[in-house]
Structure 1
Amino acid sequence: MDISELNIRKIDVVRYITPLREGGSLPAIVEGSDGLNYVLKFRGAGQGTKALIADLIGAELARVAGFKVPFLAFAQLDEGFGRAEPDEEIQDLLKFSTGLNLGVYYMSGAITYDPLVYEMDGLLASKIVWLDAYLTNLDRTAKNTNMLYWNREIWLIDHGAALYFHHNIDTWEDHALRPFSMIKDHVLLPIADKLTEADAFMKNKFSGEVIDAIIDLIPNDFIITHLETVDVDERKNIYRQFLKTRLANSGIFLKEAIDAREALI
């Protein structure tokens, strides 16, 4: 994939359709000004814009690696949107989400991936496990696979729980060099029998140039918020350094994944 293809569309939210109550952050299906429907991730939800940043970085890295990922949009929510919404919880969420949010194309008819129903080859499973260990993604378990089956293909969604180091940003260097012990709970680990091959493949995909291009996509509005005012360039550089350091030391989390899988089988 050419990094020139890393381009996020911009839309306005024109209609709130329905909430999705499966997750604690209460995303919703909305209609965009481009006439398409999106799953909207709100900046006013519990983890704030950090979850949107993690979702953006995770999705675009997955796309570069060749995974199927629904396209994203930066979605503007105007002040006063949803005033007629009768649910007070939703009305508050809309109020606190005025401004730029993150939309994920809504794949109508998609089915939650079930490893007992849909087969996946070992190399693909290994690449997904590697990606989640790299991103420290807590949320790809049997309880919540965050994968969809659509048009006879597996699609990765929702990386908002990844990169949790940024909730305590000063510890980024320590986190960058840590194994990822939660990989033992990954839904695909039992069939991820080609982790070493996946490591070579993924490291070849994620150059410093690719990482820089993805970090450059992060809107300043996701970094400077009413809760936190920081130097945008400095914060973006922390994300760059974390990802590059972790990539250069992938053997640390690769070994953790291999050992966890051997313990399972």
Structure 2
Amino acid sequence: MVRQWVGGGVGRAAMMPRVNSTNGLRRVAATRYVTPFREGGSLPGLVEADDLGMYVLKFRGAGQGVKALIAEIVVGELARRLGFRVPEIVLVELDPELGRAEPDQEVQELLKASGGLNLGLDYLPGSFDYNPVVREPSTETATRLLWLDALTLNVDRSWRNPNTLLWHRELWLIDHGASLYFHHSWHPDRFPATTYRFDAADHLMLPFAGPLADVDAELGARVTPALLDEVLALVPDEWLAQDEAFGTEGRAAYARFFASRLAQRSWVADLEAARAARV
């Protein structure tokens, strides 16, 4: 299915993400619920906010809860810092009363369950699903994105569900809620694991990727503890506090995952093997 986020006006912050001087995400309040996007299981919606911007809203009351929103922030903001284009991520205060006029009961229930702080991505009007067959990516872009998704365990960027958009002739990354899947069942006594499942065989960029060694050396060196601290600081405390395993210590747990993932690079060899088999 083609995702076409179309609407009035150019996305205000998509070209130059606004991260304020306190190293936090901008916060806005939803003022109007426009329409649902009837794709996927989370049923995101389009909202207008008090800054007059339009945002694709990811709801805390959806099936995967705030864990999916945490993954959106951590992986999306890490991707941005590694040079990928990602729509600005904002925190959105939602009043469930905005959904009173919505005729769809499923949407009404979702809005009622999502009062408070949610997550929004800057709306990219006129964007559509990226198809590498139509517009082939560069080898560098394909290799870097394959590496990033393997690092973050993003199991949801396939030919069937690309989770990339073409906007103004450029590639944009969206929908990282399925990444970091371990946090849905992590446990302090068994975390981090030595290995994690990641099958690259169906990855959108695998047919176009080149050798991983140089990209691994470059990006691995850029994902420093300081960079991870910067990204993890963006996650709201109230979302972390809901986790039964780590609570607000979750930031340190995510940092340990990345440290472990970067310390042992067997997954890079697995990527190289998948790429070689594809070639």
Q: Which has the higher helix share?
A: 1
Q: CA RMSD in A?
A: 2.0
- Runs of 4+ residues over 6 Å off in structure 1: 2-5
Deviation at 1:190, TM superposition (A): 1.2
1:245 corresponds in structure 2 to: 260
1:153 corresponds in structure 2 to: 170
Deviation at 1:163, TM superposition (A): 0.2
1:256 corresponds in structure 2 to: 270
For residues 5 and 159 of structure 1, the distance between their equivalents in structure 2, rounded to whole angstroms, comes to 24
Stretches of structure 2 lacking an aligned partner (at least 5 in a row) = 1-18
TM-score, scaled relative to structure 1: 0.93
**Matched position secondary structure for 2:32:** strand
Deviation at 1:248, TM superposition (A): 2.2
Mapped contact 1:133–1:180 kept (Cα < 8 A): no
Confirm whether residue 164 of structure 1 aligns to residue 181 of structure 2: yes
**Matched position secondary structure for 2:140:** helix
**Matched position secondary structure for 1:181:** coil
Stretches of structure 1 lacking an aligned partner (at least 5 in a row) = none
- List per-residue Cα deviations over 1:144-166 (Å, max 9, x = no partner): 11111111111111110000000
1:195 corresponds in structure 2 to: 212
1:28 corresponds in structure 2 to: 45
TM-score, scaled relative to structure 2: 0.88
Deviation at 1:97, TM superposition (A): 0.3
Deviation at 1:5, TM superposition (A): 8.7
**Matched position secondary structure for 1:100:** strand
Deviation at 1:204, TM superposition (A): 2.1
Range moving further from structure 2, 232-241 or 42-51: 232-241
For residues 5 and 64 of structure 1, the distance between their equivalents in structure 2, rounded to whole angstroms, comes to 17
2:192 corresponds in structure 1 to: 173
2:248 corresponds in structure 1 to: 233
For residues 172 and 130 of structure 1, the distance between their equivalents in structure 2, rounded to whole angstroms, comes to 22
For residues 6 and 150 of structure 1, the distance between their equivalents in structure 2, rounded to whole angstroms, comes to 27
Deviation at 1:179, TM superposition (A): 5.1
Deviation at 1:221, TM superposition (A): 2.0
Deviation at 1:230, TM superposition (A): 6.0
2:8 corresponds in structure 1 to: none
Confirm whether residue 59 of structure 1 aligns to residue 76 of structure 2: yes
Mapped contact 2:44–2:56 kept (Cα < 8 A): yes
**Matched positions, count:** 260
Range moving further from structure 2, 234-243 or 126-135: 234-243
Mapped contact 1:3–1:213 kept (Cα < 8 A): no
2:91 corresponds in structure 1 to: 74
- List per-residue Cα deviations over 1:167-217 (Å, max 9, x = no partner): 11114311xx31543122111011111311110121122110010111111
